[in-house]
Chains A and B, each alone.
Chain A
Amino acid sequence: MAAAHVALPLPVLPQGWTAEKDFKPLGKISKPIQRSIEPVGPHFLAHARRKRHHRTFSEDERIQAQENVKKVEDDDDAGEISEPEDPVMLQRDAKDWKGQDHYAVLGLSKYRHRATEEQIKRAHRKKVLRHHPDKRAASGGTEDDSFFKCIQKATEILLDPMRRQQFDSVDENADVEPPTKKDAAQKGKFFKLWGPVFESEARFSKIQPVPLLGDDSSTKDHVENFYNFWYNFDSWRSFEYQDEDVPDDNENRDQKRHVERKNNNARKKKKTEDTARLRHLVDDALAGDERIKRFRTEERANKNKKKNEREAAERKAKEDAEAAKLEAARKEKEAEELAKASKVDAKKAKEAAKNAAKKNKRVLKGSVKDVNYFVESGDANANVVDSVLNEVDAVIAKLEPEELADLAAKLNGKKDIAGVKGIWIEEVKRLEGAGKLKTGDMKVLAA
């Protein structure tokens, strides 16, 4: 075969792709199907030549090879169409074809509207093989071909999609009776009783697939969807099959029209009745459906729960707000009190400090007095006292309360001149060092 060309480009090699010899095997080919190639045509002969290589094949190999081949040719006899034939049915007159059950005639009564066209054709063929008048004659029977005609009629109707639909519309054998009031009242049998009813009614729906009844564990959505669907059911069911025969056109035209009109009206009436019937049926089912009740109570519970939750949340929010408010008030109060207290404390401390400072000052002044104003002997004259006290005052003025206290502590109890003077000189030096006193200001205390 000539190589084909594809215009769409191959993808770009991703970054970092590596493989030995640029080839990376990833998977295996899926399981093949064994099929038979038809031994026809020049290409096959070439294939055969390649495959045979002058080998001969035995019968065993033939059988083995054939066993694996997928079957494409189906058996004529697929067991499904062998139903026992009712002897009463065999006596039927073909003229009464409207009354016959076409599916039963063909042996398809368990399939009914579900039977495929192929099944119908096969069933027909099978019945023909058995009931053809020639066969009857051969087996010594009468040449009565009425049942054969029934078969032909059944096939004719079932193989025409329109007529089959008309028959299916009125096929009572495929109907499942809805449960009686008494049955329906039994607990726990709801799905068993109603399931098949809806399954059988579903065949009339123009929209397929049809939502089915489901079971006890179906979701609310499913159940709602189900009832919505069935209340808006779009049915193809029609009642032409039950029409009265319209007389041939060469008879009275008025009569013909009359019958046609009558048929039309009857169809319409039946259709309305059918719609009403289905509605009634769904109503009944809905009334008996435990799930709806359960969903209601659940919903109510849910609603209450929600309400309670909401109320609780509201209450909680309210309480929280109040608590917060109280807390804030309390905090404010505390802060106020604290401020007040600290104010008093400060005052007290101030006073205490004042007292202490007074006391210390007294100690300082006392200390020079105690040592007789640094006069070694005799009373100090007034000038000396004055100058010493002035200098002491000057130092005190420069001192912070703490320093004052320190100095007072150092001086407390000292009675000797040298000791007291030493402390004073030290203090003055310190203050001079700190730049608080000018060197030379002090005369007595500096020496």
Chain B
Amino acid sequence: MSAEEDNGVTVTPPERLAIGIAFGNSNSSIAHTGSDGKPVVIANEEGDRQIPSVLSYIEGEEFHGNQAKTQLIRNSKNTVAYFRDYIGKSFDSIDPSASHASAHPQKHDKTVAFSIHDTSSESPNTVTVQEIASRHLKRLISSASDFLGQSVNAVVITVPTNFSEDQKKELEAAARDAKVELLQFIPEPIAAALAYDARPETEVRDKIIVVADLGGTRSDVTVLASRGGMYSILATSHDYEFAGQNLDQVLIDHFAKEFIKKNKSDPRENPRGLAKLKHESEATKKALSLGTNATISIESLSEGIDFSSTVNRIRYETLANKVFGGITRLIEDTVKKAELDLLDVDEVILSGGTSHTPKIASNIATIFSQTTRVLAPSTLATAINPSELTARGAAIQASLVQEFDVDDIVQSAHPMVTVAPHLHNAIGVLLLSGDASRGIFRPVLDPETPVPAKRTVTFATPREGGDVLIKICEGIRDIKVTKPEPKPKTNGATVKDADEDDSDMSDSDEEEEEEDLRERAWKVGTELAEVAIKGVKKGGKVEITLNVNAELGLQVVAREVGSKTGVRGVVEKPEH
């Protein structure tokens, strides 16, 4: 590489080795897509795949990751943690609460800095958050380079959806300082969705996805429309009240109370005790996601007294119910914000470390319909580890764009390319009857599909064949609410006769089903066109292709499957 640079040639794309970095506020992950096309999350020297975004300094020596995190107990003043959200922000606009038990952020010009002893000298240095981020990236990249045996020189970094342009700029500068080329920033929820959709067994389907990124200090929920493999964000929300650290706090308070009962002293009152308790509570929380029981033991928690206790999952879930409820409400609110109904959601992706908690996944599964897939380890065996999702997504994107010039990538991400009109209503075909009040609408193009778009669907025809009408119209999504009819008693009796066990089951079901039945239905909107296909064979099928161009003109091609001729027509673009 250097030889070529000497010759005046810049780094050519083939020599790039790009990785994906999920840069979180609490933890970071690195991943690389190998030659087989599968993303692999890389472990650092200590064997951690989730590397705490923490840096700590003792007499000029830098510690990173878990090693640094343990320093929060003894050396909190020289340990920098939870700094990702401070990047590119002024001191007035940051919430320093998360850094309460580590080095405190300070005002420094227009940015934020930390005053830490990062050298062996006596006086503390002021280190800007950009510098810290750069050091953190450097450590991540060196870990990746060690693992891959080649030096990594390009990265794709994931950021939250509310990361501002200024923040991106500063993070880009930090990457530059770390001597890597920043190929692209991608939003965390998109990376998570991509990680699932890029699996070879996944087929491209139009769907509405809710990505719940439940992290350590914040929970972000994003509603996405995935149309033809492209993602458009419909709504986002960010929450700082119901996240992983709030779950830690629940356990901290629980254990602290237990300790007080025995020893009459509150371990939360001295910073070191609190840090120890926090560290171990986090480990206990993680253990409770896997097992139903977890133990905690801390040496010299407070006043030299050791502490040891166990907690079971049910106890924990009862204590943490408030936080779980908050997360569920957050998801409901975000779906509402996207002007959708819970029934519209096809997939829920749980991302971030907190998503390991089984109760959160099962709570979420209950608010959605039966057909909604909740992708979390506790609800789906094939789910990807939620902590690794964003890193994997970033690695996939990195492998896709590493061949490109940076300029090319910038041009591709240009709003002239990314901004596209999205269909407001679905476009589809009326089935069974051509009459708008009796026919059943079947969408061909879903709402929120970016145009230009083209979809093909084959339809059955009446049993005896003959001439068929294709009525193309817009469909408006509607939620149909029906009161459940009280079941006739005779029904239960007959079931009871047939099978004793089954009847018990159905009885209990009936008691639960007192709520209204809600169904997704389509209301017929504007009628766009009518097409006739004449003389369809008995049992024949009709293939309809709808093609909407960028100006919203609609091109219709309909033909009987197997026949060479078909009907073509164009609905002119609207004037608005």
Chain A residues with CB under 8 Å of chain B are: 1-14, 17, 19, 21-45, 47-48, 51-52, 56-57, 61-62, 65-66, 68-69, 72-74, 76, 116-118, 121, 124-125, 128-129, 132, 134-135, 138, 155, 159-161, 250
Check if B417 sits within 8 Å of A51, measured CB to CB: yes
Given contacts A1-B204, A23-B569, contact A135 B96 (CB under 8 A): yes
User: Which of B440, B468, B568 interacts with A13 by CB under 8 Å?
Assistant: B468
Q: Which 6 A-B pairs have the closest CB atoms?
A: A43-B229, A23-B569, A32-B421, A13-B467, A28-B574, A65-B415
A-B CB contact pairs (8 Å), 24 listed: A1-B455, A8-B459, A8-B460, A10-B459, A10-B460, A11-B471, A12-B466, A26-B571, A29-B526, A30-B425, A31-B576, A33-B424, A36-B419, A37-B232, A40-B231, A41-B397, A42-B229, A47-B417, A62-B416, A69-B419, A73-B161, A118-B237, A135-B91, A160-B322
Interface residues of B in 440-490 (CB under 8 A from A): 440, 442, 448, 450-451, 455-463, 466-471, 473-474
Given contacts A9-B462, A10-B431, A138-B91, contact A73 B423 (CB under 8 A): no
Check if B233 sits within 8 Å of A38, measured CB to CB: yes
Binds A, one of B125-133, B174-182, B186-194, B356-364: B186-194
B191 surroundings in chain A (CB, below 8 A): 40
Q: Could you mark each residue 126-149 of chain B with 1 if its beta carbon is under 8 Å from any beta carbon of chain A, else 0?
A: 000000000000000000000000
Closest to A3 in B: B456
CA distance A117 to B424 in the complex (A): 28
Check if B459 sits within 8 Å of A36, measured CB to CB: no
Check if A38 sits within 8 Å of B529, measured CB to CB: no
Binds A, one of B56-64, B101-109, B375-383: B101-109
Check if A9 sits within 8 Å of B463, measured CB to CB: yes
Q: A17-B532, A65-B415, A65-B419 are in contact. List 4 more A-B contacts (CB 8 A).
A: A4-B458, A14-B434, A35-B420, A57-B414
Closest chain-B Cβ to A208's Cβ sits at a distance in Å of 15
Chain B residues with CB under 8 Å of chain A are: 91-97, 104-107, 161-162, 184, 186-187, 190-191, 194, 197-198, 203-206, 228-237, 239-241, 261, 322, 325-326, 329-330, 333, 393, 396-397, 400-401, 411-425, 427, 429-434, 439-440, 442, 448, 450-451, 455-463, 466-471, 473-474, 525-534, 541-543, 548, 552, 554, 556, 567-574, 576
Check if B534 sits within 8 Å of A128, measured CB to CB: no
CA distance A31 to B552 in the complex (A): 9
Closest to A134 in B: B96
CA distance A286 to B91 in the complex (A): 58
B235 surroundings in chain A (CB, below 8 A): 72
A28 surroundings in chain B (CB, below 8 A): 526, 528, 552, 571-574
B466 surroundings in chain A (CB, below 8 A): 12-13
CA distance A246 to B261 in the complex (A): 17
Given contacts A9-B462, A9-B463, A129-B93, contact A37 B450 (CB under 8 A): yes
B471 surroundings in chain A (CB, below 8 A): 11
Given contacts A27-B571, A125-B240, contact A6 B412 (CB under 8 A): no
B430 surroundings in chain A (CB, below 8 A): 11
Check if B530 sits within 8 Å of A26, measured CB to CB: yes
Closest chain-B Cβ to A128's Cβ sits at a distance in Å of 5
A26 surroundings in chain B (CB, below 8 A): 473, 526-530, 571
